[in-house]
Amino acid sequence: MRLPPFQYLAPRSTEEALEIMSRYKGKVRIIAGGTDIMNLLKHRLLTPPYVMSLKGVADLAGMKKTRGALVIAAGTTLRNIAGAPEVRSSFAAVAQSAGLVAAPPIQNIATIGGNLLQGTRCLFYNQSELVRGASLPCLKQGGKVCAAVKGSKRCFSVYQGDMAPSLIAFNASAVLKRSGGSRTVPVGTLFSGHGTRPFSLGDDEILTEIIIPLPRGIYGSSYQKLRLRSGLEYPLISSSAFVGVSKKGVIDRARIVVGAAGPLPLVVEEAAASLIGRKPDDADIEGAAGHALRIARPVDNLALPGPYRKKMTKVFAKRAIETALAGLAVGA
């Protein structure tokens, strides 16, 4: 498939990239690694007049430790994140998320910012122009009803990024810059909850950094992912768990996040609340995972049926909690 016509822009600095975003506000699509957006361009799901590559912006790649946090530039590749000792030792779920994205050749070029901000997906939307032309357009294509849930005025496309659940589990923040200013927000607030326009970024903003606070005390984390093949697959259901325990083995902090179950990652607050204050046994973990099952609402718009994916929400939440508890270690 051929790419649609567009003007290619290649800034050499963050400042130049921000100036381009301001000048062509709403008309620019950003390419970081390009592993997701190139397919969207080839399928004519995106036809922007301008495409800006951040490949040549050196200060948008790399990691650094600050007091009490790890800062990861948005253009850092998933391979570098998955293999970094400081990530593997302190943020196991984040390293696991990066290492489970697609296959190694993709991880070598895909970036944390690109994975975090990849669009929602749906079998009725992510098709070639020829296939889409055989039916009426869905809501995400500008139609009047959802193709996955007949007659619905709500888009049920699914956010399938691997990195977001683990970043949210660690209470990570995102730095968003625009020409003349910046803001830092929790990663979870990047998501609008609307499948047609899943993110709450401004048209002139660029994600530049992810800040992950380093937890103190004893804690563990895990990312678990359901997919049909061991590589090249988006998650069909995923779950990240973070748990912190006291010296007596009582859980005093917890966060459970479910991915690929809707247009945004779901923080399962009831699951965390049910674990805190307990030395969890199998029944406690089973009960906590049950809360994930209750809030998930997958439909039949991915490779596996919605009811099956819903059942697997509990299975993978339970695995994430168990693995996080099994990997407890002392932090800062």
Nearest residue to 265 via CA among 176, 183, 184, 192: 192
For residue 283, give both structure tokens.
């029944």
Mean pLDDT for the stretch of residues 17-41: 95
User: All domains of the chain, ordered by start, with CATH?
Assistant: 58-117+158-213 (3.30.465.10), 218-330 (3.30.390.50)
Confidence of residue 231 (pLDDT cuts 50, 70, 90): confident
Residue 204 has pLDDT above 90, yes or no: yes
Residues 276, 200 contacting (CB under 8 angstroms): no
Mean pLDDT for the stretch of residues 192-209: 96
Taking only the tens place, the pLDDT of each residue in 33-50 is 999 999 999 999 999 999
For residue 257, count CB atoms less than 10 angstroms from its CB and return exposed for 0-12, middle for 13-18, buried for 19 or more: buried
Mean pLDDT for the stretch of residues 318-332: 92
pLDDT for 332 = 61
Residues 20, 59 contacting (CB under 8 angstroms): no
pLDDT for 286 = 97
Mean pLDDT for the stretch of residues 260-282: 96
For residue 92, count CB atoms less than 10 angstroms from its CB and return exposed for 0-12, middle for 13-18, buried for 19 or more: buried
For residue 185, give both structure tokens.
């927000």
Report d(CA 298, CA 149) in Å as an integer: 11
Mean pLDDT for the stretch of residues 186-209: 97
Alpha-helix residue ranges (DSSP H) falling in the chain: 14-23, 37-42, 78-83, 85-90, 92-99, 104-107, 112-116, 129-132, 163-169, 269-275, 282-295, 306-326
